[in-house]
Amino acid sequence: MGTALIYDEEMTKYKLLWVDPACKIEVPERLTVSYEALKNSGLADRCVSVPVREATDEDILLVHSEEYLEAVKKTPYMTLEDLKEFTLQYGDVYFHPNIYHCAKLAAGASLQLVDSVMTGKVRNGMALVRPPGHHSMRSAASGFCVFNNVAIAAQYAKLKHGVKRVLIVDWDVHHGQGVQYSFEDDPGVLYFSWHRYEHQKFWPQLRESDYDNVGKEKGEGFNINVPWNKVGMKNSDYLSVFCHMLLPVAYEFNPDLVLVCAGFDSAIGDPEGEMCASPDIFAHLTHLLMNLAGGKVCAVLEGGYNLTSLPQSVCQTVHTLLGDPAPRPANLDGPCESALESLHCSRSAHRKYWSCLKHAAEHPSSDVSTKRLKLAEEEEKVENGEEKEKAEEEVWPEPPKRVTAPVRTALVLPDGVSCPDRCKLFSSSKDPVIVNKLRENFPRDAADSDALTTLSSLVALVEKMEKNEICNGLALVQDVSMAMTCVVQHAAIALSNRVLVVCVGDVLVPAHYKEDGTILLVHFSNKEEEQKSKYHIPVCLKKGCSDVSGFMQAVLGLLLPLGYEYDPSLVLLARTPDSGLCDGAWQQLTGLLQGLAQGHTLVLLQEGERAYVGPTASSLLGEAAPSVGKIKAPLLEDVESMEGLRTRLQVDWKLLQTTAPETG
């Protein structure tokens, strides 16, 4: 299924008609440069174009009051003076004779997107709209927003499509207070937002934007705020919050639909955010959401005011929605102290609502540490001179070209096993060089020509992945350990870079591999093994991988951060029949790991598990994994061993940190 793109140039036909420094950044060009970039990169033509429609009064009244709607309805007939007067009652927003029409189109576009996804016409999609929506409230416009596009879409999805649980991810750099107010008492809508806050100094300067605002009444726990108390947040900060806060809770919430308040003012170069995350981070943020809700993800544009990073970020998002593997996450050097403080506060505020956070370290005396940080930041500000002059013109590299491999998924199968459609059956021509090398390395199997054939096919396949002629692969082999050793040996030699090896079940891990960092081995099993080194990480789960919640929490909070920080050029995923891992969790794992190594994932299955060929292939082809259902509390001993492992490992692996290091 495809990706919808919803855009209409009518939404560029309104602008600021008077002088107002607060609003001058919200210009029509935001939309035209974004759409042009999608057209010029060929991405728009790969999408299913879905037309906009006007939201009806009924649609708008799902969130807004009648008096507000009636008032806005009058604006097309107002004189310039009346428009100015009307605008004065709201904050940081402007009206225009055509903005009511555009606001109906922006909301209607969001509903068209929800319809297209919920009816299965497309798998996911993006709506390029203005005016944005997440600040507008029941009876008030705010922050360039007139109608709350995403809030209306969420209510509409529940009402018209019977959606029970909607996850709203707001990665815009401002707090979508309008969304928070709409759903703070609603357990059917989990609202997650990070936002520039600076201890309430940054617009809209609301006390209720802080981490301790967790929702109200039945909605307690279903509102997550992660305030950024400093500018300059980077890719590591964003990925840490996704891995250690959003994703664990999102998987526990198990949404039927994911809506994204896709604001790109959280990217580098934006005058509002003043953050330092690169546009390609949105490829990863999007990817990390695409195995939730069976892949039903609707991204709706919110903010984004740098006319260079905005289109780049939009293209990164749409690339990933289309299934293109993400670029490698360059040099993740770990979250900053301020981000860790915010992450910690947010996690501890939600400890009692989410079992995945139940063991999040209780915040010491939170106010003391926050005050300590605040004091330090105040002093820093004084040193840097009170008014930080606007960040000098930021420059950043153009996101790398994302070329899709001619072949997406290649399979190495023994005779008699049918190859799922859309996959390419792969067998290497018996390359004598490879065969001879294998004879040397695997004398005992040299006799068994089948094994030799398989091994030489594997090596040839890895070489094709290295050249990006093939994106990912799957092999059904006699002996998984042997095959893994062979690939590891070849890869470590041939691939100048790093191989992440993920073993599920009791695979005999390649014992003799070097400890030089060319291999990172993460081994999920139910056997206690002490951790051999920084690069050999046994993850012991009491019930092995059969306990889905423990396994998923280990994947989200341990494996993903490790994988992102390690940044391999190849991911080798091996499982043995005794792993006990259920299909859903296995496909989640296979799906999530494709965010690494530009999607170069090689899966090794044991002969006897040919039933897994189909489901694994569909995940490798980019199909969303089935949801694993609501995951319940992990086993206490698993959580404790995971926390212990994380504590030991975070010395070497910064992305595993969830709390600010206790300093002085």
Considering the complex, state which of residue 266 and residue 526 has its C-beta at the smaller distance from ligand Q6M.
266
If binding is defined by CB under 6 A, does position 22 make contact with ligand Q6M? yes
> Cα-flanking dihedrals φ and ψ of residue 472, to 5°?
-145, 175
Residue ranges with strand state E in 158-302: 166-170, 189-196, 223-228, 257-262, 297-301
Q: Which does 92 bind (CB under 5 to 8 A by kind): ligand Q6M, Zn ion, none?
A: ligand Q6M
527: nearest Cα among 515, 519, 538 = 538
Nearer to Zn ion, 54 or 265 (CB): 265
Decide whether 279 or 622 has the Cβ nearer to ligand Q6M. Answer: 279
Site mask for ligand Q6M (CB under 6 A), range 259-278, x = bound:
----x-x-------------
C-alpha distances out from residue 14 to 3, 127, 128, 622, Å? 28, 18, 15, 39
CB 127 within 8 A of CB 112: yes
Q: Which of 471, 464, 649 is nearest to 563 (CA)?
A: 649
* Assigned token pair, 598: 């530009």
What is the closest distance, in whole angstroms, from the C-beta atom of residue 264 to Zn ion in the complex? 9
Residue number, 104 or 196, with CB nearest to Zn ion: 196
CB of 303 to ligand Q6M, least distance (A): 2
Total number of residues that touch ligand Q6M (CB under 6 A): 13
Rounded to a whole number of angstroms, the minimum distance from the CB of residue 384 to Zn ion is 24
Q: Residues in the chain, how many?
A: 664
| Residue 266 CB, nearest approach to Zn ion (Å) | 8
Residue nearest to Zn ion (CB): 303
Question: Contact with ligand Q6M (CB under 6 A): which of 125, 143, 510, 595?
Answer: 143
Site string for ligand Q6M, 292-331 (x = CB under 6 A): ----------xx----------------------------
Residue 64 or 135: the one with the smaller Cβ distance to Zn ion is: 135
**Backbone phi, psi, residue 257, to 5°:** -155, 140
In the bound state with Zn ion, the residue whose beta carbon lies nearer, of 210 and 265, is 265
Task: Assess whether 512 carries a catalytic annotation.
Answer: no
SS3 category, 381: helix
Site residues for ligand Q6M, window 202-241 (CB under 6 A)? 203
Is residue 281 within 8 A of residue 239, CB to CB? The reply is: yes
If binding is defined by CB under 6 A, does position 132 make contact with ligand Q6M? yes
CA terminus-to-terminus distance, the chain: 54
The token duo for 195 is: 């936002």
| Pairwise CA distance, residues 424 & 624, whole Å | 20
Q: Read out DSSP for 9-38? A: GGGGS----S--TTTTT--THHHHHHHHHH
Residue nearest to ligand Q6M (CB): 303
The H or E element spanning position 540 is strand 536-540
Q: Which of 64, 96, 135, 175 is catalytic?
A: 135
Query: Interface residues with Zn ion (CB under 5 A)?
Result: 172, 174, 263, 265, 303
CA distance 613 to 623: 14
**Residue 595 binds ligand Q6M (CB under 6 A):** no
Active site residues: 135
What does the binding site for ligand Q6M look like in residue numbers (CB under 6 A)?
A: 22, 92, 132, 135, 143-144, 172, 174, 203, 263, 265, 302-303
